[in-house]
Amino acid sequence: MSKQQNERNSTPLNEEVLAAVRRSGHAGITSQQLALQLGFKDKSQRYLLFDAIDQLLDEGRIESGKKGRYTSTGGKDTAEGTIDIIASGAGYVRLGQAGVDDVFIPQRDIGTALHGDTVLIKARGGRGFRAEGKVLAVLERRRTEFVGTIQRHEGRTLLVADDQRVQKPFFIGPADTNGASEGDKAIIELGEWKDARDLPRGRVLRVLGRAGEHQVEMHAILAEFGLPLEFPESVLKASEDIPNGVTAAEIAKRRDVREIPTLTIDPDDAKDLDDALSVRKLDNGNWEIGIHIADVSHYVKPGSVVDMEAASRATSVYLVDRVVPMLPEKLSNDLCSLNPHTDKLGFSAIFELDEQARLRGEWFGRTVMRSHHRFAYAEAQTIIDGGDGPFKQEVLTLHNLAQIIRKERIANGALEIGGNEVKFKLDEKGRPLGVYEKVMGPANWLIEEFMLLANKRVAASVGKPKNGKAKPFIYRVHDLPDPEKVAQLRALAHSFGHELDTAHADDLPHAINKLLRDVQGSEEENLIKQVAIRSMSKAIYTTENIGHYGLAFEHYTHFTSPIRRYPDLLVHRALAHYLAGGMALDGGSLELSCKHSSRMEKQAADAERASIKYKQAEYLRDRIGEEFDGTISGLTNWGIYVELVDNKCEGMIGLRELPGDVFRFDQERYVVVGHRTDRRFRLGDELRVVVKAVDMARRSVDLGLAGETMRQDGGRTTSGKFQRGKPPGGNKNRPAAKPAKFGAKKTSKKKRR
């Protein structure tokens, strides 16, 4: 719990004890002295005092020192923050204060903190300019459930977490196994853990199945990132009871756009069609373009069980083989899906554009609409490329207008950074048969431009109203890029003979776009594009509008996907409220929803990446010993990352395993250099590599340089068996004391999140 929560839950006696400890200063005070000061003369009542002391110790508000003396943890040298554990077992605490660096916590001083926990630390002098500290107490656990593999070791049952940042295995008592056996994937609940010399205790909540099976591993990834595996029965039942809202009474309240030519363009396997476009020529020669979005807010009411579940999930999750939806299927694939030839309730943004795609008028509100044709992206692309198809003129009109809008947006400084998606061809058992890239084209851009237009204008309508002042609203914002990462991008471009010229910060978007155009079609294109993406800040949701740097928009929100993003549903509700003349909404409540949605979005993205890495590792597991052409995609203090050209899989060559020299990473020049030979490895270098080993538990691939003898030290295990060190002995009530690092790779202490 947070310090504020501690203070709210504190008793008067706790506060008296804390005050007495604080008065004692650095010298501290014993429990006997406390008893005398507070008037506990009757020994039979002193258990109350001891309870208060124990609670204050647990909360981290006091600490025990030499000779049984207690001192206060308050003062200028203590701080509260979030701890990030790195592969070495050490950590960094983010204090959340502008201009204040993270505090390094050596592994010996981590205590019982786990990755993401809110902790109280005591700062002290570090090495050089780096601040160091010690964890005094865990104030709040980020998570209490963990997923991993059950293993038996020296007669004890352990769970080794899939999350490599959890350095110790969990001890599972005989009564807490819930039927789990060695080799099972399971979800456990963290029990009491007060002494860092012990292993944390866990209780098995659910057995997922045997480790290594496709379905089990996908469920394990969801559980690892705190994402739901299924909907509660109460939510499914409530969704089934929601009636179709297209009634005569409801239609009478809405703008009827059913007769206007309307179409959807989506992936061919999409089931939740949440946006459609309509187009028609007006009498004045302009075009009326409608962006029609499923009116989820009509069906999902605030405070309902379906709404609370959607708010908790905050987003749909896309793994390699499935979609884990935010809303139950009855809503996402039926009531709220804009399926063709069916009347549907919409929330629409309707624009009047002239032939040059200039905005001449706009309208926002609820509609009843009907899609007249469903296009897959490939079908729409065929028409754009000159082929025939239904609604050909409408598709070409939308394409031409979108091209004009896109060109103007880029001219205004929007970044042209679009990444292709890695996709897998899976067999019926989920095994990867092939890996390929899903390439974006003009049909994708057509949809993208009109969705961006709707999001931009909805945000501006509230954030920059023509009459009155802005009211609390949800924005999608994107901050300025990291200057250090921009410098790395500049150095990388220069190494390939390109320049990233910027006189000042305002020129940067145009300079990046010019660089990306210069490298188009070259071998280094994908690499430079990826490094450019990595230099950018992460977009988040917030009520504090700072604009969207990447899109070069002063106002931007998410309005167009309420089936799969909860912020969009909140935007629909807020917009409807303000269109009806409603008073300002509670900004604090909206901001809490923004923070939660941003956090869940990141967890969903992390889960997606984990599923991709798992399938890439599985694909290469059957190709150990085979050689591939690759390109260096990343350089670190511990290894060289290489992306394979044919299949876009990524693996690592450990620096300790490079032959013929001792290699180090020169961060300033962004190059790996041999100490004696001066042999150099740079981003974008082409290498011929061999697949040496695959570690499915870590979802990692070990590579070597083809045709060269690799060093034998520093290798990693390819087995999923218990390999994270041998837990030392201890009595049965204390499973281990000072356990070794379980599977931590040697890495630089500078490695961050």
Q: Where are the domains of the chain?
A: 3-72, 78-140, 448-609, 623-705
More confident residue, 220 or 419: 220
pLDDT at residue 126 tops 70: no
With bands split at pLDDT 50, 70 and 90, how would you rate the model's confidence at 493?
confident
Is the pLDDT score of 424 beyond 70?
Answer: yes
Tokens 């935010």, residue? 326
User: Which of 177-191, 285-299, 378-392, 622-636 is the least confident region?
Assistant: 622-636
Q: Is the pLDDT of residue 746 over 70?
A: no
Contact 577, 586 (CB under 8 A): no
Nearest-angstrom CA–CA distance, 503 and 492 = 19
Which has the minimum average pLDDT: 271-275, 296-300, 504-508, 714-718? 714-718
Distance CA 255, CA 579 (A): 14
Q: How far apart are CA 316 and CA 310, in angstroms?
A: 9
Among 88-102, 211-225, 562-576, 674-688, which is the least confidently predicted range? 88-102
For the chain, what is the mean pLDDT? 86
Over 50: is that where the pLDDT of 718 sits? no
Contact 146, 170 (CB under 8 A): yes
How high is the pLDDT of residue 733?
Answer: 34
pLDDT tens digits, one per residue of 80-113: 889 999 878 889 998 866 556 788 999 999 999 9
**Is 0.85 topped by the overall pTM?**
no
The residue type of 511 is: A
Please give the pLDDT value at position 714: 36
Determine the average pLDDT of the residues in 489-507: 77
Q: Which of 451-465, 561-575, 681-695, 727-741 has the lowest mean pLDDT?
A: 727-741
State whether CATH 1.10.30.50 applies to domain 3-72.
no
Percent of the chain past pLDDT 70, that is, above it, reads: 90
Helix (H, G, I), strand (E, B) or coil at 331: helix
Give pLDDT, residue 742: 29
Higher pLDDT, 38 or 180: 180
Residue 419 is predicted with a pLDDT of: 65
Domain 78-140, CATH number (from 3.40.50.620, 2.40.50.140, 3.40.50.720, 1.20.1290.10)? 2.40.50.140
The residue that leads in pLDDT, 727 or 656, is 656
Task: Please name the CATH architecture into which domain 623-705 falls.
Answer: Beta Barrel (2.40)
Check pLDDT > 60 for residue 318. yes
How far is 186 from 213, CA to CA, in rounded Å?
13
Q: Using 50, 70 and 90 to split pLDDT, how confident is the model at 3? A: very low
Per-residue exposure over 620-630, b if at least 16 CB sit within 10 Å of its own CB, e if not: bbebeeeebeb
Quick one: pLDDT at residue 520? 81
Higher pLDDT, 442 or 739: 442
What pLDDT, on the 0 to 100 scale, is given for residue 728?
35
Is pLDDT of 477 > 80? yes
Return the minimum-mean-pLDDT range out of 195-199, 473-477, 584-588.
195-199
Lowest average pLDDT, out of 85-89, 159-163, 235-239, 607-611, goes to 85-89
User: Is there a shared CATH topology between the 3-72 domain and the 78-140 domain?
Assistant: no
Q: State the pLDDT at residue 506.
A: 67
pLDDT band for position 32 (50/70/90)?
Answer: confident
Q: How far apart are CA 129 and CA 103, in angstroms?
A: 11
Contacts of 468 (CB under 8 A, 6+ apart): none
Measure the N-to-C terminal CA separation of the chain; round to a whole number of Å: 23
